[in-house]
Amino acid sequence: MHKKMYSMRYAAGQPAKRILSSGSFAALSKALPDGAPLPGSDKLRILVWNIFKQQRSDWLSMLRTFSKDAQLVLLQEAQTTPELVGFATQNYLGADQVPAIVLPRHPSGVMTLSATHPVFCYPLREREPILRLAKSALVTVYPLFDGRLLMVINIHAVNFSLGVDIYSKQLEPIGEQIAHHNGPVIMAGDFNTWSRPRMNALYRFARDMTLRQVRFMDDHRSRAFGKPLDFVFYRGLKVAEASVLVTTASDHNPLLVEFYPGKSE
């Protein structure tokens, strides 16, 4: 799983660049490069959305609307089509994708769009045991205005597996990165929590990592077998506002969360 791990970085006016894994955060945290902080000292807005490989006609117009003023956009099932790459590079400084499924033309996987470049990048893939299709995750770190470092985990969890061994295995290397980070954390994405054992495994992981779950008053999150699939977890921040945006532009409804970056709960 740790061999040849890389992500692809897209930036305006530059060719796509392969970014090899930065290595363990524990080993590099004392020697991370300086970077520009995420803009905004009053609110940190993030959008989390499984974009369904852009299969529906109105995905781009909805993405433009939903991501307005968001400093971070965490997409799952993002295909690197010219339309998506164009949107990302026109509106964000950084667009980092971990290809999970290498399709003939446009790889699909998690993609994190950010208003500044990450100072740490740790891509992960896990192959599903039944269909042999891979799912991906990406750990990135960004400076905040107050000097702290924000760790962001964008994840699309394995879907088809018997039991939760592979599901928990995908979370283990993420936990290793979080465990060596003392600052704020956001972990979000499509966790494919369609069974009670999967929900329990995820909640146990969040508890071990001292992560809190963002609660949604009008909870229109996409569900399977009655259970929500998409989550946002955090620590070292305070939730200002959280909502689920209802749309037909994907088979998942996006999550929009605003944090107070300088406060914590």
**Cβ neighbours of residue 165 under 8 Å, at least 6 residues apart?**
none
Supply the pLDDT for residue 100.
83
Helix/strand/coil for 178: helix
Supply the pLDDT for residue 131.
56
DSSP secondary structure of 159-218: -S-SSSHHHHHHHHHHHHHHHT--S-EEEEEE----SHHHHHHHHHHHHHTTPEEPP-SS
Supply the pLDDT for residue 152.
98
In sign, the C-alpha dihedral spanning 19, 16, 141, 147 is: positive
Q: What is the DSSP letter of 33?
A: P
pLDDT-derived band at 2, boundaries 50, 70, 90: very low
Mean pLDDT of 79-104: 91
Res. 242: pLDDT tops 70: yes
Strand partners of residue 112: 74, 96
Q: Which residue has the higher pLDDT, 104 or 10?
A: 10
Supply the pLDDT for residue 41.
85
Mean pLDDT of 94-116: 88
Q: Which residue has the higher pLDDT, 26 or 206?
A: 206
Encode burial over 150-163: b for 16+ CB neighbours within 10 A, e otherwise: bbbbbbbbbbebee
Share of the chain above pLDDT 90, in %: 78
Mean pLDDT rounded to a whole number for the chain: 92
Complete domains list, the chain, with CATH: 42-260 (3.60.10.10)
With residue 250 as reference, give the H or E element that holds it: none
